[in-house]
Each structure stands twice: as structure tokens, then as C-alpha cells.
Structure 1
Amino acid sequence: MKRLPLWIAILFFCGQLFGQNNYSPETLEKIKAVENNLTGNIIVNDAKPGTIAGQMAKYKVNGMSIAVIHDFKIEWAKGYGWADVEEKKPMTTATLFEPGSISKTLNAIGILKLAQEKKVDLYTDINTYLTSWKFPYDSLSKGKTINLAQLLAHQAGLTVHGFPGHDINGPVPTVFEVLDGKKPSFTPAVRSAFEPDLKFQYSGGGTTISQVLLTDVTGQAYDVWMYENVLKPIGMVNSTYAQPPAKDQWHLCASAYNSDGTPIERKFHVYPEQAAAGLWMTPTDLCHYILDMQLAYQGKPSKVLSPDMVDLHLKPYRNGPTAMGTFIEDHDGAIYFGHGAGNDGFCGQFFGSLEDGNGIAIFLNSDNGRLLGEVINSVAKVYNWKNFYREPRRVKSMAVPDETLKSYEGIYLFDNTWAAIGKKDNDFHFFTNGTHAKMYFSSPVQFVNEEFQAVKTMIKDEKGNVTGYTRMVNDKEYPPAKKIANLDTLQLENHILGEIGWYYFGNKQYKESLAAFRRGTELYPEDLNTLINLAHLHLFNNDYASAIAIYKAHLNDEVKPGYSWVQLLKDDYMYFKNSQNEVKMFDKVFKELKIEKP
């Protein structure tokens, strides 16, 4: 029998020790079944299911906490691993997490409560209620006003998907600086991208507007009002929107870790965007909210919302993917509400069934969320969630010659996004959505990945040249991905070209990275971020003359209000340095520009 390394065994011991122990033998058996039957989207060469301890080690997850709902009650809760590795602070069911966007779900409860009390109308222009800040409408909204219903359902047509955290020692922007994209905010201004109710577009920026509106209407600090009117009544008595939490709670807070297991500096980050990302909570606390909604859907009184407001929270808005504050999933007629989350060094997910009283809340103190789906799927199988469990595909994997794999290298476009097949650290991989995924070939032209559900089959023309790949998910065929022959002729959105450029940069393919940023500047010549990236890549390609010409040409420019070209250059230099890239060539740049090197 293969033995686990000592530190993994300690992680598993902590999970055993710090879970609740007063469970029935039947529940303990179910816990054991959940812990020992983890699989991803595929099972390769009849591999045995993984364990929680083993998968935590595989994904470099230091700590996990979980609470499971069955038959409309919390059946068990348990902590695994470390809340803080250095301090040897174990994970317990009382450990607080800052997982991110689940904050939006409870924020929606607060806004719906204001509507229930007739203090706001969900379908009235938000500027009717905003007093400390006003939304600046422009031509992109096409004369249409934005309302709270649209903000909660992500149908307001607004920018700014999410927010990076800030060092607890500052500087930390005010919420108004965040909304207007002013330094020290890291994100651009929250503004219209298109008219409201045109389509779904996730916007943490829109949620942040609702935060300001709530404080304007109530006259109270956001975290105080939310605790007294939402969290405490619904049973989330250990949770808080305070940013940062009060110091007497810090001993309860999990420390945050990057996807490689290394710690976030100073334990965790601060989010002035409290409604969008700032809720500290435990899985057990969150389950009290899930249960309140599940029971209210069954006709019992909610502790916070009236039946009509519960319906708005649990039924899709305009047939979109969300209700007001939740994502709604239809699993062949079985309806589940839920929300995912991810902050710097944290991630999480919750689900609740509408009909049969099942649910889960699970948090990790890691950026790597792959374990979430595996544990949730295991719980769904053990507790027989209706139409939820996904049986993994069984794959017999074979070796494919490097020469064949090399012919697959390149960029592929599909569904307004992109993917790549390439080589990094001497291994070929499939890359999309920020994830490098190992390829498992069932034939020389067909492969799958653990991380993604699609079965991909390479397409070749009559000359044998690779032109793309087909995509099949659960026997349903999707439009094929097309291989890019030449970046120089493509009309791509700037952010896609930027992502491609940074992908090549991460692989140290500096020539290809330069081509992507060059195409970006051709299509979007006014974008200063793309211009400075082009300059950087000239530098990494040993073309100092081209790089310094760009640096000099924009030396006095502002990238955005309050954020200068010089500051961007300094910030990028620190990024390259902290990411272990060669930065000695920047010495000459700072000297010639007469700028102090950070």
C-alpha cells in the first residue's frame, strides 16, 4: 500500500480531529464515503478515486472547510488541514474565510429587504436613491436608466467584472475611488458597456454601486446594517462584512494562499468593495442562509424576506442565468441555486436544491479551486442529489510522438474566447481560461483534460495541416475551434490579444508575445497598457531602441486619471521582478528616462 507523505497525513489527521464528532454511525459512513471517492471529469487508465487528503496535496491546498445539508438540516461540518501553515493553526468549522463573490448573494438579500420595506423600488433609476455618488450615464446606455433589479441580476450592462485585493497596510481606495477608477484603485471606472437589459454581463462594479446605494438609503455603515438586518436574523452570527475584520476576530481568520501553496503577504487582502467581495464567513453560517431560502421556497416563513422577495432571489431574471443574487442551474428539471467565489488566496462555492433539501457550502484558503468541484460531486453522489452527479469519463490514454504534438501547437479561437496548445517546462499542454491542462490522448488526434469536459478531436485539411479541433460535451457537438494561421491579419478584441501575449510571455516565447502586443497596438493605438506591453516585449527581445522610443514617447501621459505612465512602468517592473523574470535590462531604461527605480 502506498503511504502518504507525513505532512499529508497530518492534514488528514487535522480533518479528523477538528471536524465535529457527535455524528451517528450512518453519518460517519457518509463522511468517509465523501472523503474517499473524489474524481475529476475523467478517470485515466482505471485509476482509483482520490481522497480529500491526497487531492489537497495534489492541488497544494492548505486548508478546506465544508458543511453539508441533507433533508433540510445541516447534517455535518468539518475542517481539513491548516488555517495557517506557519502558525500550525488547524482548520476548524469555526474558521472564517473571505472567499469573495458569495458576498453578492447576501448583499442581494439586503437590497431585497429594503425593497420589501418600501425604502427602494427595484425598478426605479438608481440615481433616485444615490446621494453620495451618482452614476454618470453616457451614450452607451442609449438613454435607458439602470435599476437595482438589473444590478442584482448582472443585466445592467456595466463594466468591471471583479476586484483584486489590497494590502492590509494600504493604500486602500475608498469605494468612490473604486467606482471612478481613481488611484489607488486597481480597476477602471464602473461605467456602461452597453444598454441595460440587453444581455447578461457579470459585474462586481454594479454590485458595488448597490453597496453605496444601501448606505445612502439607510444612513448606516454597510457592514453594520448588513449584520443587524441580514446576517444576524438569518443565523450567520459569526460572519461579518467588516473590512478588515475586527482584530479580536483575526485569530479565527484563515490565512490566504496562492495556487502554488505560498502565502499571501500579511495573511489576507482587504476589499473596500464589501458587497461584491468582502464577506467573512464559515460554511456552517452560509448553510443557515441556504436553509432559510430552501424552507421559504417550501412555504415556510423566511427570517428575512417575504415570499415575493424570495421568488425574486430564486427564480431567473428575464430567463437569464441568474436570479437577483444567485445563479440558477437546471439539471434536467432539478433546480439548484448557488454562487461561486474567488478572492486573492481564497475560493468557494455553495449549492442548494429547491425541492429536496440538499446543499453544500465549501471554502478553500487557496486560489486553486479545482478541488471544489471534486468534493461537491462526491457529496452529490453519496447523498443522491437529483440529476446533479456527473459520472466521469473513463479514458484509456496513449503516448503520442512529440513530432505529432508539435504540429498541434498554436492558438485556437472559439466562442469569443481562445485556447492554446503549447510546450512549457518540456511538457505539452492545453491552455485556456488561465489553466494549463495535461492532455490525455485516446487516439493520435483525440484528447481530453481533467479540468474541462469537452472531448477534442484535431481537424486537418487535405494536405494534413491542422486547422482546428472539434468539441463534444456529453454527446453534444459545439462549433469547432479554429487554429490561427497569422495574428497579423486578425480582428480580435484587445483583451484577447493581451491574454495571448501574456500566455506566450509565460512560456518565454518572447517573439510570439511581441507579435500579439504589436497587433494590439495596430488595432488599438490609443491603449497605453498595450503600448507599454509592446515596449516591454521589445526589451525582452533585446530591441532596446524600439523599447526606449515607446517609453519616451509617453513619458508624460496618464494611463487613467491619477495613474501615470511612469507609475505603470514602475509597477510592471516590480511585477516582472517578483515573478522571477530577468529585469537587469530595465536598469538602462530607468537611467535614460531619469526615473528612480523602485
Structure 2
Amino acid sequence: MRLLNIKLFVFAGILTFLFQISSSSLYAQRTIDQLNANLQAMYKSYKLPGFSIAIVNKGKVIYENGYGYADIKARKPFTPTTIQNIGSISKTFVAVALMKAIEHGYFTLETNINDILPFKVSNPYFPNDSIKIKHLVTHTSGIVDRNEIYYKSYIWDTKNISILKELLPSSIYSIMSTGADVDTTLKDFMYSYLNSDGKFFTKENFYDSRPGERSEYSNIASALAAYLIECKSGKSFSEYSELFILTPLKMFKSGWFLKSIDLSQHTKLYAENMEVFPLYQLVTYPDGGLRTSVDDLSKYVIEMIKGFNGKSDILSQKFYVEMFTPQLFVTTPPKNINLNKRNKGIFWNLYPTGYIGHDGDDPGISTCLRFNPKTKTGYVFLTNIMATNEVLSGEIKSIEKVLEDFCDSIRSQN
């Protein structure tokens, strides 16, 4: 009798376990179906040409989908494998590559950049103050993105540059075209802009503030951090990041240049009036030039979460911890940043909600990547239009809110 009771007890336990699994699966399917319905409704009522999303949880992609069109005229769907440039999310790849370079022993965050560069860079207002790598990665270096030069670093894939006149504000169009005097290598651009003998150099390339004193977003400083890796590794940044990030993560549809990706899978890039931008590349490509898909980016998000939890294949855990540790201190904050809303890791944004991530925008694109390494959830969002007005910006933020709310709803299941 006792044996029979034990068997009945075990059987009941198995039934309870299977019921719990079934209930959890049904709940997950219901929430995913609701998410899809919400996103479908948003696409139908919004002005976005197309977008794609991926949701990750516990080391897996639990949902990915595309909505709308990668090419409106050809009615080509926007799918999770659709490729586009991702703007400043690219800087997070600089962060990972930089930590890999530190793991290789090339330098530390405290290293003076002039100990690495083949030419000298100093703030003319404070020539005796050292700019360190930690200043570049927290946007406190004092380096200014002077638009009349920085915008010229966009190289447009068109012979008819005047097409941009209908797509860009006149103030930007007047300078955002590739001129004969624009250096087309990362090294040459950095020298020309930052060295006192460079042809683009002026005191206005720097803020009148000491390194570490002022927070101000700088694409050029971000690209300079990537160039430091080139100086020490002997490889271009694109080669280095491909070797140590893209290839190990099997991000085979991703690349830094148009020649590196399958252009048949690349989306059209739309302006606010739904006219199509020509494709473009960046001289300062590490700051915003990676081309990829949500399918590939989901692998990257999963790896970042794994790395935080000590299970990464590309970087030791202590370097993830350092990369995601707040670098700016409430007791001595730099000017021009509210640390109650956002802190900085190594290029990564750290939010009070526990999320880590980055946004991106450029002509024809808006992007967002977020994850919570403790709950092991996250999402990726790509759309093929830039938020140039309050309506588009509001629509994009609404979608991101739905995705974050979904991630929050499933963390209780973890």
C-alpha cells in the first residue's frame, strides 16, 4: 500500500509539474500573441515605413517579427533578417572591442591617449591636461563634433548628390555632402581634426573645459577610441571587431561597409516625406556605421547578458562588469548630465530601471537596444526612418515602451 501511495504521489507531482509547464506556455503564448496584435495595430496607425523587433529571454530569442516594408514601392516586407545601419548602437561594439583590447593588455581606461597615438592630441584651452581613454568612453573628453566638418564625413552612394536637397534641411544639406577635401580614412580624419597641424583643426574642435568636467556627446571622440585599438593591434577596427565579436557570435549578415553585407537584404532608408535616401558610409564608421539585422543583434544581446553572468565566449566576466559599471559619480558629476536619469558605463547607457542599452539615429534610421542582465530579458528595435519630428519620435517611443513593458511582464516568469 505504501508503494502504491508513493507512486500516486509521484504521479500527482508529475501531473502538477506538467500542468505548470502547460500553464506557463499558454501564458507566454497569450502574451506574445497580444504583443504581436499591439505591434500590428501600431504599424497600421503609425507613419513608419517598416520595422522589426526581437525579444530575448534566458539566453533565447522568444519572439521576433517584422512589420511593414523594407521597400514600399516594391512591397518588400521588413523582416528580422532585413539589414540596415544601426547608428550609435555601433558605439557599444566599440565598447566591447575596447574591453577586449584591455584584456589583451594594450592599455587601460586610465591610459593617456597620447601614449598610444602616432600624433599628439590635446585640448588647446588646457594643453597640459591629459585626455584619457575613460574620458572618450564617457563622453567627457571635451572633443566637439563640429558639424561643418563632421557632416562631411558621410560618403553618399550616389553620383547625384543634389538629391539630398529634397531630403535634408537646407542648413545640413549645404555641408552634408562629400567634398574633395574630406579625408576618407579614420586615421587621416583624426589627424586632420584633432592635431594642431591638421587642416580641419581649430580651437572650436574642443570645449573650454578640462577632461572629465563636462558631459557632451561626441561621435568623433567615440571613433577616436576605436582608432586607438587600430594603433595597438595593427588591425583596422573593422577587422578587429569582426575577429573578436561578429565572427564568434555568428553575426554573418553584419558588417561595417556596404561591400561587407548583402545589399539585396538592405532596406530602403526613408525621409519624413517617404522619399528614399541614397545609401551612405561614414569615414568615422565605428561611431555609427555598423549594418546588421535584429536577427543578428539578438545574438549580441544574448551574449551581453551571458557576459554579465559570467558565461561569455568572447570576453572574461570582469571586463563585462567593468563595462557595465557606472563610470560617473553622483558626488562629483560632470556638468551637463543628470545622473538620476542615466549614467554611463563604457559607452553603454545605464538606466535606473536596471536596463542597459543604447539608441541610434541617422538619415533614414532609428534604432534601440535594451536589456536587463539580471532578469535576462531584452529587446531590439530597428526602423527605416529617422525621427525628425514629434509625431515620428512619439510613435517610436510608444513602440519601445510596449517592448520594455513586455520584457517587464515576463521577468516574473524567470
The interval holding the TM-score normalised by the smaller chain is 0.7 to 0.9
Match of 1:206?
Answer: 221
Corresponding residue for residue 365 of structure 2: 346
Q: What one-letter code is carried by the residue in structure 2 that aligns with 1:146?
A: I
RMSD: 2.8
The alignment partner of 2:399 has SS state of helix
Partner SS for 2:397: helix
Match of 1:130 among 88, 96, 117: 117
Alignment correspondent of 1:42: none
Aligned ranges 1:100-111 → 2 under 5 Å: 100-111=87-98
CA positional deviation for 1:216: 1.8
Equivalent position amino acid for 1:307 in 2? Q
- Partners of 1:101 and 1:75 lie apart in 2 by 25
Deviations 1:550-576 (A, max 9, x none): xxxxxxxxxxxxxxxxxxxxxxxxxxx
1:384 alignment partner, SS class? helix
| Alignment partner of 1:241 is 2:256 | yes
State whether structure 2 residue 244 is matched by structure 1 residue 229: yes
Q: Matched residue of 2:272: which SS?
A: coil
Q: 2: CA distance between counterparts of 1:138 and 1:156?
A: 9
Give the whole-Å Cα distance in 2 for the aligned partners of 1:73 and 1:362: 17
Q: Does 1:301 align with 2:311?
A: yes
Q: Aligned partner of 2:403: which letter?
A: V
- Alpha carbons of structure 1 residues 69 and 193: separation in structure 2 relative to 1, 3 Å: farther
Q: Which residue of 1 is the match for residue 172 of structure 2?
A: none
Does the aligned pair in 2 maintain the 1:100–1:276 contact within 8 Å? yes
Tell me whether 1:54 sits opposite 2:44 in the alignment.
yes
Q: Following superposition of structure 1 onto structure 2, how do residues 3-18 of structure 1 map, counting pairs within 5 Å? A: none
C-alpha separation between the residues in 1 aligned to 2:68 and 2:272?
A: 16
2:72 and 2:193 mapped to 1: Cα distance? Answer: 36
Q: 1:578-597 residue pairs with structure 2 within 5 A?
A: none
2:394 aligned with 1:370: yes
Which position in structure 1 is the counterpart of 2:267?
254
Structure-2 change in CA distance of 1:260 and 1:88 (3 Å): same
Contact 2:53 2:66 in 1 (8 A): yes
Indicate whether 1:381 and 2:405 are aligned.
Answer: yes
2:345 to 306, 318, 323: 323
The answer on whether the counterparts of 1:67 and 1:362 sit within 8 Å (CA) in structure 2 is yes
Aligned to 1:143: 128
CA displacement 1:71-99 (0-9 Å, x = unmatched):
33211111111112233322121111102
Query: One-letter code of the match for 1:254?
Result: T
- Report matched runs for 1:158-169 at 5 Å: 158-160=143-145, 164=151, 165-169=154-158
Distance in 2 between the 1:92 and 1:161 partners?
36
Q: How does 1:68-217 map to 2 (within 5 A)?
A: 68-131=55-118, 133-135=119-121, 137-141=122-126, 143-160=128-145, 164=151, 165-169=154-158, 170-171=178-179, 173-174=183-184, 175-176=186-187, 178-179=189-190, 180-181=192-193, 190-217=205-232
How many residues of Structure 1 are paired with residues of Structure 2 in the alignment? 339
Q: 1:149-548 counterparts in 2 under 5 A?
A: 149-160=134-145, 164=151, 165-169=154-158, 170-171=178-179, 173-174=183-184, 175-176=186-187, 178-179=189-190, 180-181=192-193, 190-242=205-257, 244-246=258-260, 249-264=262-277, 266=278, 268-298=279-309, 300-319=310-329, 321-331=343-353, 335-368=354-387, 369-385=393-409
Deviations 1:516-567 (A, max 9, x none): xxxxxxxxxxxxxxxxxxxxxxxxxxxxxxxxxxxxxxxxxxxxxxxxxxxx
Cα deviation for residue 193 of structure 1 reads 4.3
Deviation at 1:189, TM superposition (A): 7.3
Superposition deviation, residue 143 in structure 1:
2.2
Partners of 2:365 and 2:386 within 8 A in 1: yes
Shift of 1:256: 0.8
Residue 367 of structure 1 aligns to which amino acid in structure 2?
A: M
Shift of residue 30, structure 1, vs aligned partner:
2.8
Structure 1 pair 184/128, CA: closer, same or farther in 2 (3 Å)?
A: closer
Query: Shift of residue 26 of structure 1?
Result: 5.5
2:253·2:262 contact (CA, 8 Å) conserved in 1? no
1:379 partner amino acid? L
One-letter code aligned to 1:106: F
Identity %: 19
CA–CA separation in structure 1 for the residues paired with 2:306 and 2:239: 26
Alpha-carbon deviation of 1:53? 2.2
Aligned to 2:8: none
- Unaligned stretches of 5+ residues in structure 2: 1-24, 159-177, 330-338, 388-392
Query: Which string of whole-angstrom CA distances, capped at 9 and with x for unpartnered residues, describes residues 52-87 of structure 1?
Result: 3224xx3x3111011111233211111111112233
1:166–1:27 Cα change, 3 Å? farther
Aligned to 2:3: none
1:190–1:205 contact (8 Å) kept in structure 2: no
Aligned partners of 1:353 and 1:359 also within 8 Å = yes
TM, length-normalised to structure 2: 0.74
Tell me how far 1:222 sits from its aligned partner: 2.1
| 1:116-155 alpha-carbon deviations (Å, 9 max, x no partner) | 1101222111121112x432x1442362211222211212
Could you state the TM-score of these two structures normalised by the residue count of structure 1? Answer: 0.52
Larger RCO (alpha carbons 8 Å, 6+ apart) = 2
* CA contact 1:34–1:375 (8 Å) conserved in 2: no
| Distance in structure 2 (CA, Å) of the matches to 1:192 and 1:385 | 44
State how far apart, in whole Å, the 2-side matches of 1:88 and 1:161 are: 39
Q: Cα deviations across residues 409-466 of structure 1 (Å, max 9, x unaligned)? A: xxxxxxxxxxxxxxxxxxxxxxxxxxxxxxxxxxxxxxxxxxxxxxxxxxxxxxxxxx
Q: What are the superposed Cα offsets for residues 290-331 of structure 1, whole Å, 9 maximum, x if unpaired? A: 222212222x33222222211121111023521002000012
CA contact (8 A) 2:379 2:404 kept: no
**CA deviations over 1:366-390 (Å, ceiling 9, x no partner):** 0124333212221233343599xxx
Alpha-carbon contact 2:123-2:129 (below 8 Å) kept: no
Instruction: Name the SS of the counterpart of 2:216 in structure 1.
Output: coil
Q: Please, which runs of 5 or more residues in structure 1 have no aligned partner?
A: 1-23, 39-49, 388-598
Structure 1 equivalent of residue 30 of structure 2:
29
User: Is the Cα–Cα contact under 8 Å of residues 27 and 75 in structure 1 kept in the other structure?
Assistant: no
CA distance in 2, matches of 1:343, 1:77: 23
Instruction: Tell me the SS of whatever aligns to 1:211.
Output: helix
